[in-house]
Structure 1
Amino acid sequence: MSEPSAPAVPARPTTRSHHGDDVVDPYEWLRAKEDEQVLAHLAAENAYTQERTAHLEPLQERIYQEIKGRTLETDLSVPSRRGSWWYYSRTVEGSQYGIHCRAPLADADDWTPPVLSPDVAIPGEQVLLDGNVEAAGHEFFSLGTFDVSTDGTRLLYGVDTQGDERYTLRIRDLASGGDLGDVIPETSAGAMFSPDGRFVVYTTVDDAWRPDTVWLHEVGTDAATDAKLFHEPDERYWVGAGFTRSDRYLVIAAESSITSEEFLVDATDLRSPLQPVWPRREGVDYSLTHAVVDGEDVLYILHNDGALDFELVRVAASDPEGPHEVVLAHVPGRRLEDVSAFRDWGVVSYRREGLSRVGLLDYGSGALTELAFDEPLYTVGASGNPEWAPPVLRLGYGSFVTPGTVYDYVVETGELLLRRRQPVLGGYDPEEYAQERLWATAEDGTRIPISLVWKRAFDAGDGPRPVHLYGYGSYEHSIDPGFSVARLSMLDRGVVFAIAHVRGGGEMGRQWYEDGKLLHKRNTFTDFVACARHLVAEGRTTPDLLVAEGGSAGGLLMGAVANLAPELFAGILADVPFVDALTTILDPSLPLTVVEWDEWGDPLHDPSVYEYMKSYTPYENVREGVAYPRILAVTSLNDTRVLYVEPAKWVARLREVGADALLKCEMVAGHGGVSGRYNAWKQRAFELAWLLDVLGLAD
C-alpha cells in the first residue's frame, strides 16, 4: 500500500515589510480562523495524521490502558481545612472531571485531616460542584475560578467551554444548591469573594487577551453596574488581584516580566482609594504579603532592586516607602521566589543549586529554617494553606521516582507528617527506578544541568539507550523533577527521560533567566543542543535513539534546535509550538504580543531585535538540503496564547524541504490541550506512541 499524500497547501504570498526588509510569506492566509478553506485544510491535516499513525493505534490503546490501569480512578484528595469545613475533591471511575466536596469539622481544634475512603460514606458530605454535570453538553470544560465565601454559604465559580480562557462567573447558594441571578461573562481566571462575602473581585481582558482591568461586583446586583477598581493602560503590563491571607488587604498588581507595581485596598472598604506600595520603576520586580508582628501591620516584600536573586525586607504597612528592615539579604545563587505570611510565622519559597526549597521564617529573629529532604532530585512547595493561623504547613512533594506526596509540617516540633502519596497501581516500586543529574558544557563554557530518570533493569551495560529529552527555557519558568504516571510507559520500555535545564528558565537563579532572553535567546537553543551532544558523547544514547519534546515557548526551542542540529535527533514533538515568533511579536494587535516584548524584545521598533529574532525564529529558518528528524506538531484551534496558525505554517514550510512533518489540531481545545482526564490520557498516549515509533520501540 502506498503512503498517503500530505495535504496540499496552496501558496498565497503576502509581504511583510519592516526596517527595509521585505519577507514573502506564502502561508499567512492560514491565519483566517473562520475561513472555510482554512478549517478544511486543518481537517485534512488531521485526516492525514490519522492515516500516517493508524498503525500505532494498538500501541496507543495499550499505553492508554497502562495509564488508566496505574491510576486509582475512584479516589479522593487530602482534605484541606478552611473555616468549619474540610474541603476535598473526588474522582469517580468513568467520569472525566473532578467533583468538589466538603464535610464539616468534627472538632474545631482538629487539624488532622480525616482519612477518606471512596467506599465509606462521609458524614455530612456536601457536593459543591460536579464538573461532570457542569460539562454536560460541552466538548470542552475548564474551571477557572472556585472560591467559597468565608462564612461557607456561597460558591463562586467560573467556567470556560471553548478553550479560549474566558470564563463566565456564577454564584451558587450552598444551602439550596441553586445559582443566584449573578452572571458575569468574559472574565479571567481567579476571581474571589471579599472576606465579608458581599463582593466579588474579578479581572477582564482587552482585545489582545491581556488582563487589564480589576472590577468590583456587589452580590445580587446587575454586572452592568460593577465598579472599576483599577485599569492598566500600558499594554506591556497585565493585572491581577488577591486578598492577603490575613483578610486585611486586597492587593492589586500590575506586572510585566521585569517590572511590577502593587497597590493596597482596605478589605473592609473596597471602594476606598488605592494605596501605592512602591512606585513603578523599570526593571524593579517585587511582591508582597501582609503580616502582623508585635501588633503592627507590616509588609514583607521580595524585590530585586540591587539584588539580582532578590532580597526580603519588612516595612510598615502604613508607610511602605519608609524605613525598611532587611530580613533576608541577597545571596547570589539563592533565588528568593515567594513569601507567604501566616499569623505566627512566614514561609519562603526559593531555589538553590537547581532545586526548589521551602523555609520557615521566624518573625522575631528573621531566621530561615530550610525543610530538608533526602532525595538528590525533588520538587517541593507549600500549597493548600488557606487558613491564617494553622499549626501545620501543607506541602506538596515529589520526584522522578516518588509519586506526588502531601505532607503536613508541624511547625512547633519540626515533624513531617505523611498525609498521602499518590497511589500507583500495578505494583509500582520506586526502587526499580533511578534518577541522576549530569552537567553538559555550553558553547561559552557554562555548565548546563541535565536531570535523568530510567528503569534500573536497563542498566546492564547493553550500550546506548533511547533517550527522551525535554526542554523549555523561557519566562524564568523552571522544569523540575516530578513524577508522571504516563512516563512509566516509556521508562518500562527502556527509554531514559531527561530534562535539559537550559538558560531562559529559572532553575539556576535570575541570571540563568537573563542569559536566555532578549538578545541572549540563542543560548536557550545552543544549551539544548549541548545537552544532546553531551548525552551522545557520554555514550548514553545516539542520534537515532534520541527524541526531543517541548511545548509553547518550549516548542520554539524545538523548532530552533531542529534547524540548528537536525542530525542530532530522530524525532521532535512540538506541543502548541511558538514557531512563528517574529510574525507574532511584530503584530501588537495579536493576543499578548506587547506584554511579550520584555521577554523577546520589540522587533517592531528596534531593527537590531528584528534582525536577531529573524535569525532564529523557526518558521523563517527552515533549511533546504538537510535531513530533518521526523516532526509531530500538536496544536489547538482555540488556543489564545500560541495560535494554531504558527505550527500550521511551520509544517507546510517543513514539507517544502522534504521533511516528514505531521500536524494534529484539536478543534475544540485551548493552550492546555483537550479537557477531561480520559481525553488527556488518550492524547498523551497518542504522543508517546509516536515517540516510541520514532525510537523503533513500537512493539
Structure 2
Amino acid sequence: MTHPDASAAASVPVAEPRPVVRSHHGDDVEDRYEWLRAKDDAAVIAHLEAENAYTQQRTAHLEALRGRVFDEIKARTLETDLSVPTRRGDWWYYGRTVEGKQYGIQCRAPLASPDDWTPPELSPDAEVPGEQILLDGNVEAEGHEFFSLGSFEISTDGRLMLYGVDVAGDERYTVRVRDVISGEQLPDEIPGTFAGATFSPDGRFIVYTTVDDAWRPDTVWLHELGTPVEADAKLFHEPDERYWVGAGFTRSDRFLMIEVGSSITSEEWILDAADLRAEPRVVWPRSEGVEYESSHAVVGGEDVLFVLHNDGALDFELVRVAASDPSGERTVVIEHRPGHRLLGVSTFRDWGVVGYRRGGLARLGLLDYASGAVEELEFDEPLYAVGSGGNPEWAPPLLRIGYGSFITPGTVYDYEIATGELLLRKRQPVLGGYDPADYAQARVWAPATDGTRIPISLVWKRSFGEAGAEPRPLHLYGYGSYEHSIEPGFSVPRLSELDRGVVFAVAHVRGGGEMGRQWYEDGKLLAKRNTFTDFVDCARHLVDAGYTTPDRMVAEGGSAGGLLMGAVANLAPELFAGVLADVPFVDALTTILDPSLPLTVIEWDEWGDPLHDADVYAYMKSYSPYENVRTDAAYPKILAVTSLNDTRVLYVEPAKWVARLREVGADALLKCEMVAGHGGVSGRYNAWRERAFELAWLLDVLGVADA
C-alpha cells in the first residue's frame, strides 16, 4: 500500500490485493479488496488517508475555482436570516441562521392574541418582542467535528423541549430534555435512539425508537419523565428483519400510531394517547404486498381513519373507516385511477389535504369530508415542486405549503381555506441580482430501448442560447430507486454551473416514482436494469438531439443513484466525460448477500434476495458495478465521495470500486470524509465547501473551469 509522504507529491494509492473467495449458488468469486471493510484496521485508515491526499494533490489546480464557487454560494445566500414562523399553541416557532455560524438556532415568540394566525414578518436586524432561544446548534456543536439534530420537539404546553444529538455521523442520537422556561436541564437522558423522538400530548412521556445491530429501527419505547431509562416500557417490537418501525401522534393528539413497514408491505397499530400503557390495536393486519397509511379525523362526531392503500389499487385508493373498528366497513373517498398516484393524506379538524402525482408532477388538493371532492391547488409554471408542511395545529384557517421550481427559489405560502387565496409569506432571498427571468426550464422526452418515453427535466441560463440550439456542457443527474422522485427544486449552488453555460438535466428514470407506481415497479428487482438503460438512453437522446456531446457531459448520482452511476459507467463509458458518484452503492451484491450488514434484509424487497435465490444472485451479479468493471473500456474520469461513518452505504463500497477501476487504468479519485455520515459533512459552510469541491471538479471535466 502507498502511504502519503508530506515531503513529496502524493502517489497513486494502490490497495494491496488480499484475495478472498465468496461462494454462493455454486459460483466462486474472488474479491481482492474486501479487506478494506475492516474499519478499525490501521492499514485501512492509512489507505483512506492516502486516497484523500492523492485526491487533494490531483485537484490542487482547482483550489482557486473551489474558492470562487464557495464564494458565489456564500454571496448569493442571506447568511443572517429567519424562517417563516409556524404557530403551535401559544407561540410562533421559527429558526434563525447567523452569518459566520454553521448551525441553525431554534427560537419562538409569543402570539399577539389567540386569534392571531398571521405570522409576524421578522427581520434579521430587528429585535423580536418576547423572543426565546430554544436551542442554538452552534453551542451544542462546540467541541465536535460533526453535529446533527435528529429529534427536536416542544411539549404541547410549551414548557419542555426534547432534542436528540448525533456527534459522530452514525445516526445514533442521544435524547435530552430541557425546561425552556427555567433553562434547567432535566436528568432524563436516552442514548442510542433513532431519529424522531416525540412527547406525549400531556408531556409526561417520551416515545422513541431504537435500532438493532443492523441499524434497523425495530422497537418503540415509552419513557416516563423523571424515571430511569432502564424502567422504560417496550410498546412494540418487530422481530421480522424485513420491517422497520416508527411512531408518532396524530395531529388531533387523539392517538399514537405505530407504523411498521418494508418496501412493499405496511402495518399500523393504534393506541389511545390517554392510555399509552394499554395494548396497541392493529389497524389492518399486514398482508404481503399491501401498503397503507392512516390519518385520524372526526367526521359526523365519529372518530375515523382516512386510509390510503394499494390493496387491489396499484396507484392507491383512499377509504374511510371507523377508528373503533378499522377492519370493518370501508367507505371509498377517492377511487383508484391508474397513473394518478395518491401519495398521502393529511387530516385536520374540518378538511383534509391530499398529495398526489399526475403527469410527472406532485400536486396538492383540498379534501372536503362531506362530499369527498378534491380541489386542486393550481400553479402557473410548467415544472414545479409543492408540498404541505409546518402545519401542527388541529384546526387552522390556513394551510402552510412549500413551493419552488428550478428557477423559482423556495417559497412559503399560506393557503386561506375560506377564500382559496394563496398568501405569500416568504420567498428564499437570492442575493447578487438573481432574476428568474434570466433562466428557463423545460421537459423533454427520450425514447427508451423498449419504446417507453422517459421524461428529462432541463434548466439553463437564457443568455447562452436555448438548450438544444447547439451542443453545450451538460450535467445529467439521476436516481431511480425506492419510488423516490427527483423534484424540480431550486438550488443556489447550481447557479454556479448555469452561469457558466452548463445545462442541468434530470433523467427521471424508472425505479423512481415520477410517473406512478408502475414506473417504480418497472425499475426494481428483476427489472432493475431498466433504471440503468433508461439513463443511458436519456444521455444518448441528449447527444442525438444536439443538447450536448459525450466529451461535454458529466453524470451524477448519490447513494442508490451512485449505483446507477457505477452501472452506466460500465454500460456506456463512451457517453460521458466524467461521473460524480456520491456515497455510491457500487458493491451492491456483496452488501445484499450479507444479512449482518446494516439494513440488508430490509433491502431484499427492493433488490431481491440473492442469498437464497439463484436467479436474483445472477441478475444482481450482471449489473453490480464492482463486479462488472470492464477491462476493454476507456472509462470517463470518476470522482467518488464517501464518509467513514456512513451506516447506509459503507465507505468500503466506493473504496473497493476505485481500487478495481485503477486496475484497468481508469482515472478514478476517492474522497472520504473521516468524520461524517451518509449525508456528508455537517454545518452549512462545510456543506458549501464540499459542494464547491464537487462542482469545481465537474466544471473542470466539462471544460468550463475558467469561465
TM-score by shorter chain over 0.5: yes
Question: What pairs up with 1:35-46 in 2 under 5 angstroms?
Answer: 35-46=41-52
Q: Give the alignment partner of residue 556 of structure 2, picking from 541, 546, 549.
A: 549
The superposition leaves residues 547-601 of structure 1 with CA deviations (integer Å, 9 ceiling, x where unpaired) of: 0000000000000000000000000000000000000000000000000000000
1:130 to 132, 136, 154: 136
The counterpart of 1:510, out of the listed 513, 517, 521, is: 517
Distance 2:252 2:112 in 1: 24
Runs of 4+ in 1 over 6 A off after TM superposition: none
How far is the alpha carbon of 1:5 from its aligned partner?
2.9
**Aligned-partner residue type, residue 455 of structure 2:** P
Local SS of the residue matching 1:487:
helix
Question: Is the Cα contact below 8 Å between 2:469 and 2:547 reproduced in 1?
Answer: no
Match of residue 588, structure 2, among 581, 591, 600:
581
The structure 2 residue matched to 1:329, chosen from 335, 344, 350, is: 335
State whether residues 469 and 546 of structure 2, in contact with CA within 8 Å, keep that contact through their aligned partners in structure 1: no
Q: How far apart are residue 339 of structure 1 and its match?
A: 0.5
The answer to whether the aligner puts 1:604 opposite 2:611 as a matched pair is yes
1:637 aligns to what? 644
Task: Give TM-score, length-normalised by structure 2.
Answer: 0.98
Q: Tell me whether 1:90 sits opposite 2:113 in the alignment.
A: no
Query: What corresponds to 2:434 in structure 1?
Result: 428
Q: Which residue among 524, 528, 536 is the counterpart of 1:521?
A: 528
2:640 paired with 1:620: no
Verify: 1:160 aligned to 2:170, yes or no: no
Distance 2:464 2:634 in 1: 30
Q: CA deviation at 1:273?
A: 1.1
* Separation (CA, whole Å) in 2 of partners of 1:329 and 1:463: 46
* Correspondence for 2:676: 669
Equivalence map 1:296-695=2 (5 Å): 296-459=302-465, 463-695=470-702
Secondary structure in 2 matching 1:395: strand
Q: Is residue 205–residue 223 contact of structure 2 (8 Å, CA) maintained in 1?
A: yes
Q: Per-residue deviation at 1:606?
A: 0.2
What is the letter of the counterpart of residue 367 of structure 2? L
Matched, 1:220 2:226: yes
Question: What secondary structure does 2:171 align onto?
Answer: coil
Is the CA contact 2:643–2:678 (under 8 Å) kept in the aligned structure 1?
yes
Give the SS at the match of 1:59.
helix
- Provide the secondary structure at the position in 1 that maps to 2:149: strand
Q: Distance in 1 between matches of 2:205 and 2:469?
A: 65
Aligned residues: 698
Residue type of the alignment partner of 1:342: F
Q: In the aligned structure 2, how far is the partner of 1:462 from the partner of 1:584? A: 44
Which digits, 9 at most, give the CA deviation of each residue in 1:74-126, with x for residues without a partner? 00000000000000000000000000000000111010000000111111000
Equivalent position SS for 1:655: helix
Q: Which amino acid aligns with 2:447?
A: T
* RMSD after superposition: 0.8
Contact 2:10-2:50 within 8 A present in 1 as well: no
Q: Does residue 229 in structure 1 map to residue 235 in structure 2? A: yes
Q: Which runs of 5+ in 2 are unaligned?
A: 1-7
> Partner residue of 1:265?
271
In 2: Cα distance, 1:466 partner to 1:107 partner: 55
Alignment-derived partner of residue 81 in structure 1: 87
1:292 matches 2:260: no
Shift of 1:463: 2.5
Distance 1:346 1:286 in 2: 17
- Distance in 2 between residues matched to 1:321 and 1:108, nearest whole Å: 39
Counterpart Cα distance in 2 of 1:274 and 1:99: 37
Cα deviation code 1:170-212 (max 9, x no counterpart):
0010111121000000000000000000000000000000000
Residue 179 of structure 2: which of 168, 173, 179 is its match?
173
Structure 1 SS opposite 2:569: helix
Amino acid at match of 1:574: A
The alpha carbon displacement at 1:462 in A equals 6.8
**Does the 8 Å CA contact 2:10/2:53 hold for their aligned counterparts?**
no
**Which amino acid counterpart does residue 500 of structure 1 have in structure 2?**
A
Q: Tell me how far apart the structure 2 counterparts of residues 178 and 647 of structure 1 sit (CA, whole Å).
A: 45
- 5+ residue gaps in structure 1? none
Specify the SS of the correspondent of 1:297. strand
Map Cα deviations across residues 333-352 of structure 1 (whole Å, 9 max, x no partner). Answer: 11001101000000001101
CA contact (8 A) 2:408 2:490 kept: yes
1:224 & 1:203 partners in 2: Cα distance?
14
Aligned to 1:119: 125
Counterpart of 2:17 (choices 11, 26, 29) is: 11
Q: Which amino acid is 2:589 matched to? A: L
Hey, what's the Cα distance between the residues in 2 that align with 1:219 and 1:3?
Answer: 57
Task: Give the distance between the partners of 1:483 and 1:11, measured in 2 at CA.
Answer: 44
Percent identity among equivalent residues? 79
Letter in 1 for 2:167: T
| Matching residue's letter, 1:682 | R
Q: Which letter does structure 1 place at the counterpart of 2:293? A: S
Q: Distance in 2 between matches of 1:138 and 1:194?
A: 31
Residue 3 of structure 2: aligned partner: none
> Which secondary structure does the structure 2 equivalent of 1:363 belong to?
coil
Give the superposition deviation at 1:3.
8.4
